[in-house]
Amino acid sequence: MTVNVGTIDRILRACLGLALLYLAFISDLPLFEGDLFRYGAALVGVVMLLVAALRICPLYSLIGIRTCRI
């Protein structure tokens, strides 16, 4: 697979991933007290962090989008 995630996209995904992990495990918001939202947010947060780290988004590959210059 080729790199298809650019720098700004990586930063936004990393911030979103960290925010979702924070909301899932550290915040005391009532919405995230249930298992569905807690583990759903954690799963999406981990996926966002993985995509930001690897710079490869499978969904972008399927659609044909590239946000990087390379």
Q: Integer distance in angstroms from the first to the last C-alpha of the chain?
A: 13
What percentage of the chain exceeds 70 in pLDDT?
100
Task: Sketch the domain layout of the chain as residue ranges.
Answer: 7-63
Which pTM does this prediction carry?
Answer: 0.90
Cα separations in angstroms, 61 against 12, 17, 18, 29: 19, 20, 24, 35
pLDDT band at 5 (very low <50, low <70, confident <90, very high): very high
Tokens 């659609």 correspond to what residue? Answer: 63
Supply the pLDDT for residue 58: 93
Supply the pLDDT for residue 11: 97
